[in-house]
Structure 1
Amino acid sequence: MAKFTVVGGDSSSDLAKRIARKIKSPYIKTEKKVFPDGESKITINQIPKKSIVVVVQSTYPPVDSNLLELLSIVSKVQKFSSKVYAVIPYMGYARQDREFLGGEIITIGVVGKLLKAAGVKKILTVDIHSKLALKELRISSENVSAMEVLVKHFKKMKMKNPVVVSPDLGGKERAVKFSELLKTDFIALKKQRDRKTGKVKILSGKVDVKDRDLILVDDMISTGGSIIKATQFLKKQKCRRVFVACTHALLVNDAAKKIKNAGVSQIISTNTIPGESAKVDVSKVISDALK
C-alpha cells in the first residue's frame, strides 16, 4: 500500500484523524489564527518526504474561507510531495454546475482550476451534488457514497413499517437505492422551486403513508426549505414519525430548529460536516477509497 501522510484542515480535523488511524498513517495538524480583519494565517509542521500527502478539508460555511484554507495548505505541502490528494468530504459550490440563468458563472469549474493551480493531483469527495460538477472540476476525481453507512444506522433504529421518501423527483434514484438497502418501500414527491425566489411548492397529490414511519432522504440540507415543505405535506397524510437522512447537514439560518418545528423527529447526517446531527462516520468509506 502507498505511504500516506494525512493533514487535517480546521474544518475537518476530527475526520482527518479518523482517516489517518484507519490507513495507519501519520497525522499532521494545522493551526489557524484569524486576524481582526478576517484574514487567516495557516501554520503547518514539516511534511515527511516520499509520501502521498492527503489534505482533508470540507468546504462548508464559511465556504470561501474554508476553500482558501484548503488551497493554502495544498500550496504548502506540494513543496514536500509531488502527489497531493485533496479529500473534500463536503464540496462547496457543487450546486453551481451549469448556467441556470443567463450570465451565471459555473463556479465549480473555477474551484477546479484553483485546486489544480495549487497543486492538487486528485480529489476525493463524498456524495457530490451532481456528476456534472465532478466533470467540471477537470481534475482526476472520485466520488464515494455514504448511503450504506447511513442505511446501517437506520437499520439499528426501531421503526414502524418505514417508507423512504425523496423530497423531489431529482432525488428519486437515491431514494430507490436507500429503500433497496433498507428493504422497504419508497416514494418520490413532485416539487417546484422558483429559480429567482428559491420558494418551494409540493405538487404531489395524496400519498399512502398512514401510520408509517418515514425517512426523508437527500444528499444535503442547506436552509431546509424542501424538507420542511415535504414534512408538512406528509404530516397531512397522517404518517407516523418523520426522520431526515442526509450526507451533508449544512443547516444554515437556524434550519435545524425550523425542520424540527415542522414535525421532524430527528435529523441524521454524516461527519462530512461536524455538528449535532452528525451521527454517522464516513472515515472508513474514505479510507477504503484511498487504499
Structure 2
Amino acid sequence: MTDFTVIGGPSSEQLAKKIASKLKSKFIGCELRVFPDGESKITLKGKPDGKILVIQSIYPPVDSNLLRCLAITSQARTFSSQVYVIIPYMGYARQDRQFLPGEIITMKHVAKMFKAAGATKVIVVDIHSITALDHFQISAKNISAVEELAKHFKKMSLHDPLVVSPDKGGMERAKNFAKFLGVDYTALEKQRDRKTGNVTIKSKGLDGVKGRDIILVDDMISTGGSIVKAAEFLKKQKSGKVYACCTHALLIGDAEKNIIKAGVTKIISANTIPGKTSVVDVSPIIAKAIT
C-alpha cells in the first residue's frame, strides 16, 4: 500500500476507486446531501492520512461540482500538508483568456480558489487549453488520454481508417492519435461565431476520404455542434463509417441524438465523465502521473 489516501468526490467516485486500486491505496468516499435550496453538504466517510488525492471532475452542474471539489480539498488539507487534486475534466478551462471586450477570465479565479483551498498540486486530463494551467500559482500538470483512446480503436476492425480533427486547432491531437494507430490524419477548417456559437465548415472538399472509415477526434463534445457539422460534411464526401471520439463527453441536451442523426456510428469517450459512451479507462495514466 502506498502512503496515499484517495478521496473520491461525488462526481468521480468510480474512477477514484479504480485509481486507489491501482495505487494500492486507502479509499474514502463522500456522502452528498443536496438541500432543497441547492446547497451541498458533504461528509467524508473516513479519516484520511498520508498524502491525499482528491478526485473530482468538474462537469455539469459545473458550479456545484467545483464548490464540492474546493470543499473536499479544504477539508483534506486539515489532515495533510500534501493534497493533490485530480480533476479529470476541468470545467471553466474554455474561459482562459479574453475573447471579447469585458469578458472575465474565470479560469484565473478558479485557479486562485484551488490555491486558497489548500491544493498543493493539480492534475488534469486533456484540458481544453494548456494556457489555462498558466493561471495556477501551484504545480499544475496536464496528462493526455489520446494513447488510451487510440488503443481502443486499435482493437476495432476499421476499413482504411483516417483520423480527422473537426478544426485546425486540434491538428496536433489528430496527429498524435494517428501516430499511435499508424494511419493518416487531416483537419477540417471550422468557423465558430463567438457571439452565437454557431459552427460552419469552411473546407470545400477532402481528397482520400471516399470509402474510408473516419475517426473524428476532439478533446470534448459538449453540444455536439462541431461533430455534427463535421460528420455531415464527411458523409457528403462519401466516407465510410464515422466514429466520434473524445476524452470528455459532456453531451449536453440532445447532443448524442443529433450526432447519431448526422451519421455517426458510435461515440467513444473516456471515463473522465461517467456515461454510456465512457468506455476508455484513464485510471492507469492518472496513477502513473502520480507515482
What RMSD in Å do the two structures reach over aligned CA positions?
1.0
**Residue deviations 1:227-246, cap 9 Å, x none?**
00000110000001000110
Match in the other structure for 2:26: 26
Does 1:61 pair with 2:60? Answer: yes
CA distance in 1 between counterparts of 2:92 and 2:190 reads 22
**Residue deviations 1:82-106, cap 9 Å, x none?**
1111000000000001000001111
Does 1:133 pair with 2:149? Answer: no
Q: Which amino acid aligns with 1:161?
A: D
Does the 8 A contact of 2:29 with 2:46 survive in 1?
no
Q: Which runs of 4+ in 1 moved over 3 A?
A: none
- The DSSP-based 3-state class of the residue aligned with 2:116 is helix
Q: Percent identity?
A: 60
Match in the other structure for 2:94: 95
CA distance in 2 between counterparts of 1:254 and 1:37 reads 27
Does the 8 A contact of 1:175 with 1:217 survive in 2?
yes
Match in the other structure for 2:42: 42
CA distance in 2 between counterparts of 1:186 and 1:68 reads 39
Match in the other structure for 2:84: 85
More divergent stretch after superposition (136-145 vs 273-282)? 136-145
Match in the other structure for 1:168: 167
Match in the other structure for 2:217: 217
CA distance in 2 between counterparts of 1:279 and 1:116 reads 32
Shift in Å at residue 46 of structure 1?
Answer: 4.1
Unpaired segments of 5 or more residues in structure 1?
Answer: none
CA distance in 2 between counterparts of 1:138 and 1:243 reads 38
- The DSSP-based 3-state class of the residue aligned with 1:11 is coil
**Residue deviations 1:194-247, cap 9 Å, x none?**
000000110001112000000000000100000000001100000010001100
CA distance in 2 between counterparts of 1:176 and 1:75 reads 39
CA distance in 1 between counterparts of 2:115 and 2:189 reads 38
The two structures have a TM-score, normalised by structure 1, of 0.98
CA distance in 2 between counterparts of 1:233 and 1:243 reads 14
More divergent stretch after superposition (73-82 vs 159-168)? 73-82
Q: Which amino acid aligns with 1:94?
A: A
Does 1:283 pair with 2:270? Answer: no
Match in the other structure for 1:204: 203
The two structures have a TM-score, normalised by structure 2, of 0.98
- The DSSP-based 3-state class of the residue aligned with 1:238 is coil
CA distance in 2 between counterparts of 1:278 and 1:2 reads 28
CA distance in 1 between counterparts of 2:69 and 2:176 reads 32
CA distance in 2 between counterparts of 1:225 and 1:47 reads 44
Match in the other structure for 1:190: 189
**Residue deviations 1:221-274, cap 9 Å, x none?**
100000000001100000010001100000001201110011100000000000
Aligned length: 290
CA distance in 2 between counterparts of 1:183 and 1:142 reads 27
Match in the other structure for 2:155: 156
